[in-house]
Amino acid sequence: MKYILLFLLFVSMAAHAQKTIVMQMEIKSEIDPRTRRYVDLALANAEAIKADIVIIEMDTYGGILTDAKEIVDRIMAFKRPIWVFINSDAASAGALISIACDSIYMAPGASIGAATVVSATGEKAPDKYQSYMRSIMRSTAEEKGRNPRIAEGMVDEDIVIDSVKKEGEIITFSTSEAIQYGFCEAKVESIDEILKRNKIENYEVIKFELSGSETVIAFFLNPFISGLLILIIIGGIYFELQTPGVGFPLFAAIVALVLYLVPYYLNGLAENWEIIALFLGLGLIAVEIFILPGFGIAGIAGITLTVGSLILIMVNNDAFDFEFVPANEILYAVAAAFGGILGGIVLLFVGGARLSNTRIFKRIALVQTQETSEGYVVKPAAESMKGKRGTAYTVLRPAGKVIIDGQLYDAYTRGEYLEKGDTIEVLDDETTSLRVKKGL
C-alpha cells in the first residue's frame, strides 16, 4: 500500500510538472499609452507566473504608432512564445503587433492589414510617418520569417506585388488569404482550438486581469473625473486661504492633485516637463497673490501655464505634436480643464457663502459675536488711555509703536507721519491699537 501511494504521488507530481501554463491577455481597444501599460503589466505577470505560452486575443482598428512600436519591442524581447488570436480585426497598429508575434491565428471572417498611418482627422499622414511604418513592418516581418514585401504592402499603396496587390491598393487579408501568404498559421474559433492544434492537452489557461489599484488608476483617467479633481484642487486652495490653519481643504487639494497626476504619469501621458510646467504655473500664481501687488505678468503667466499643462497632461502629444491625437481627445481634455476651473469658480461664489452655515465649519471656525457685555474686551489696558501723552517709540507712517508711562503700545495716526521721539497724545483706545496725534 505504501508503494502504491508513493507511485500515485509521483504520477501526480509528474503530471503537474508537465502542465503547460498559458496566459491569456486581450488587446481589444485603441492602441494608446493605456494599452502599452496594460501589455507591460501583462507580460511582467507572465514572467512572474512562469507562463510557457502567452496568447493575445486581438480585436482593434489600431491606434498610436509610437505606443504600438513600444509594444512590439516588448513582445520581441519576451523570452517565451507569444501567439495572437485575431478574433475579428487587426488593422493598422494591430497588424504590426500581430506580425511581431511568433504565431498568428485568425477566426473565420477576421482580417489583418490596412496599416497606412493616418492623422487624428483620418487623413493620410505625411510620408515621413509612412516611411517609418514601412521600415518597422518590414523589419518585424523579416524577424518573424514572414514576407517583408507583403508587410510593406499593408502600408504603401504604391507597392506592386504580383498576384497579391495592384498599385493603388492597401493589403488587407482575410483569414484564408492570410493563411495562403504566410501571415496566419490556421483558421480557428477559440484559444482551446489553438492549443489542441499544437498538441497541447495538459494545460491551464490563466487570464490576465488588471489589479484593483490599476482599475482605480484607469478610473481616474476619465476626463469627467479629471474635471472633478481640478475642481477640488481649486476649491481646496481657495477655502484653505479663507480659513487658514484648518488644513483639511489644503489636504483635499493635495490628494486631488496626486490623484490627477499619478494615473496620467503611470500611463505615459504626463511628461516630466508638463508636470514641472504645472507646478511652475501654480508657483507664479502664489507669487502674484502673496508677494507682488496687483495682477500682472506673473499672474497671467501662471494661469496660462497651469491651464495649458492641465490640458497637455491629459493629451498624448509628442512635444506639442498633435498629429496623431484624435480631435475628440483634445476636446475632452479642454472641456475637463475648463469645466473644472469654471466649476471651482462657481463653488467659490455659491459654496463659499453657504460654507459658514455648515456644521463642520461651525466646529472649526469662530462664528459667534464676542460682545463686551459678555466680558470680551479689545482695549490694550483696563483703564482708559484717552488723553494720555507719551513718546513715539518708532516712526509712525502712519502705524508704529509708542511708549506711555513706561509701557509699549501699538499705535496709528489719522494719516500724518510722526518721527521717532515726537510727543504724542492718545485720541482713542477702542481697539487693540491706540489712535494718536502729535502732541503740542
Q: How far apart are CA 191 and CA 207, in angstroms?
A: 11
DSSP state of 372: G
- pLDDT of 83 above 70: yes
Verify that 405 and 349 share a domain, yes or no: no
Percent of the chain with pLDDT over 70: 80
176 in a structural domain: yes
pLDDT on residue 113: 93
Tens of pLDDT, residue by residue over 182-208, are 999 999 999 999 999 999 989 999 999
* Domain with 391 in it: 378-438
Residue 424 domain-assigned (yes or no): yes
Residue 8 forms part of a structural domain = no
257: left (phi over 0), alpha (psi -120 to 50) or beta: alpha
Q: Which residue has the higher pLDDT, 164 or 359?
A: 164
Looking at the fold, whether 265 and 217 belong to one and the same domain comes out as yes
Query: 91 in a domain, yes or no?
Result: yes
Q: Are residues 142 and 174 in the same domain?
A: yes
Backbone angles phi, psi at 172, to 5 degrees: -135, 110
Domain match, 149 and 223 both = no
Task: Give me the chain's average pLDDT, please.
Answer: 82
Within a domain: 373:
no
pLDDT value at position 323? 63
Looking at the structure, tell me whether residues 432 and 355 fall in a common domain: no
Q: What is the pLDDT of residue 77?
A: 94
**Could you say which of 209, 231, 255 is where a domain stops?**
209
Least confident piece of the model among 244-258, 343-357, 368-382: 368-382
Rounded Cα distance between 161 and 149, Å, is 8
Same domain flag for 99 and 243: no
- Alpha-carbon separation of residue 96 from 44, 148, 228, 296, 423 (angstroms): 21, 12, 37, 51, 90
Residue 391 has pLDDT above 60, yes or no: yes
Which CATH number belongs to the domain containing residue 387 in this structure? 2.40.50.140
Check: pTM over 0.85? Answer yes or no: no
CB neighbours of residue 125 within 10 Å:
18
For 304-362, the DSSP string reads: HHHHHHHHHHHS--SSS--TTS-HHHHHHHHHHHHHHHHHHHHIIIIIHHHHTTSHHHH
Based on the fold, state whether residues 200 and 220 are members of the same structural domain.
no
Nearest to 101 by CA among 195, 188, 183: 183
Query: Which of 251 and 368 is assigned the larger pLDDT?
Result: 251
The reply to whether 201 and 217 lie within a common domain is no
Residue 373 binned pLDDT confidence (cut-offs 50, 70, 90) = low
Query: Is the residue at 6 inside a domain?
Result: no
Query: Tens of pLDDT along 222-280?
Result: 777 888 888 888 877 777 766 555 577 788 888 888 888 888 887 777 788 888 888 89
Adjacent-strand bridge partners of 288: none
**Distance (Å, rounded) from C-alpha 143 to C-alpha 79?**
15
* CATH number, domain containing residue 32: 3.90.226.10
pLDDT band at 364 (very low <50, low <70, confident <90, very high): low
Q: Which has more pLDDT, 139 or 365?
A: 139
Asked if residue 238 and residue 129 are part of one domain, the reply reads no
Instruction: Please give the tally of structural domains in the chain.
Output: 3
Among 142, 10, 119, smallest CA distance to 64 is for 119
